[in-house]
Amino acid sequence: MAGQPKSASAAQVGRAELLERLLAREGGEVRAVARSNSANAADADDAFQEGCVSFLRFYEGDEDGAGAWLALVVKRFAWQIGNERRRRGSVQHVLSGEPGELTGREVVLADERADTEELIERAEALEKRIALLGELKPDERTTLILIGLGASYAEIAELRGWSRTKINRCAVEGRARLRELAERGEKT
């Protein structure tokens, strides 16, 4: 039937487990590849997520080549995102008066790229979120990461062998714990 989700194959489950081990072992290095090949932290996050999704869909090799494959794919996604941004243009036109009164020479260009301070703030916020994830229970952390990567409850249930109730509990309790930890961190 059209529109019905397909159950994960054994290969998909194997790739998901391999990705989880790979990210635990080399996730920081792959994120560094994304950051070094991206214009900003948001693009790096997008490239990293796209790489993980591609790994789950297409990786066919063994565990030895998985890290290099993922790093290469993430790098290529970072380049693609950067090229798309440049093609769209990071510069926008800003009118400095009434549109009817302006000539072509009176249009001012404004750069919409993030400045250094904003990039530093984003990086610090991301580091805090990653640290907060580390304080969750392992099942809560795994559930939230898989949901963040786009996995459905059915896919998580099949992948981990959990009931939907457990997945929902881990997601709800994990999110509540993250909010609690974030609030506690803001107060200090």
The percent of residues above 70 in pLDDT, for the chain, comes to 80
Q: How far is CA 103 from CA 9, 16, 92, 111, 184, in A?
A: 61, 57, 17, 20, 54
Q: Please calculate the CA angle 162-167-170 and round it to the nearest 5 degrees.
A: 125
How much is the pLDDT for 141? 92
Q: Are strands 91-95 and 107-111 parallel, antiparallel or unpaired?
A: antiparallel
pTM: 0.45
Q: Give domain limits for the chain.
A: 9-88, 114-182
pLDDT tens column, 27-77:
899 999 999 999 888 899 999 999 999 998 888 888 888 999 999 999 999
How much is the pLDDT for 95? 43
pLDDT tens column, 69-90:
999 999 999 999 988 877 765 4
Compute and round to an integer the Cα radius of gyration of the chain: 21
CATH level 3 topology of 114-182: Arc Repressor Mutant, subunit A (1.10.10)
